Amino acid sequence: MRIGETAAAAGMTTKTLRFYEDRGLLPATDRAPNGYRDYPHETVSRLEFIRRGRTAGLTLAQIGEILAVRDIGHAPCIHVKDLLAKQLHDLDARIAELTALRATVAEFHEAAAAGDPAACDPERICSYL
């Protein structure tokens, strides 16, 4: 698989893949005789994992740590375990924060929904925008 096809499959640009390779999130892959990168199909799921992490708000550095653990595959040494425990803890904190925020925003939304929509002129833009 060439870079363009791989990037498209993951919904990214070729620029982004080269950038991820540079940052160590994507291992330097084989090259075709002409120098073109040749990716195995698994790269797509790896990229999808990265994207999920990004969407969730993790930094590339954090995602890189998780991927490094995944790449070792075996060797469950205490450092690996601690690292993952920390990531889990961070994720839990993040989820709790988001859930609290959602509740706050839901309150605002209900208050807004309770008002009379007819009172708003669709031709006019809200005063604060």
Partner DNA sequence: CTTTACCTTCCACTAAACTGGAAGGTAAGG
Partner DNA sequence: CCTTACCTTCCAGTTTAGTGGAAGGTAAAG
List interacting residues with DNA (CB under 7 A): 2-5, 12-16, 18-19, 23, 32-37, 54, 59-61
Q: Tell me which amino acid residue 25 is.
A: L
Return the residue matching tokens 């797509």.
44
Within positions 21 to 50, which residues make up the interface with a second copy, using CB under 8 A?
49
Q: Which is nearer to DNA, 27 or 76 (CB)?
A: 27
Question: Cβ neighbours of residue 72 under 8 Å, at least 6 residues apart?
Answer: 80
SS (H, E, C) 102-122: HHHHHHHHHHHHHCCHHHCCC
Q: Choose from DNA, a second copy, none: what does 5 bind? Cβ within 5-8 Å by kind.
A: DNA
> Which of helix, strand or coil describes residue 5?
helix
Return the residue matching tokens 């994720």.
91
Q: Choose from a second copy, DNA, none: what does 61 bind? Cβ within 5-8 Å by kind.
A: DNA
Which residues of the chain form contacts with a second copy (CB under 8 A)? 49, 52-53, 55-58, 66, 68-72, 74-81, 84-85, 87-88, 91-95, 97-102, 104-106, 108-109, 111-117, 119-120, 122, 125-129
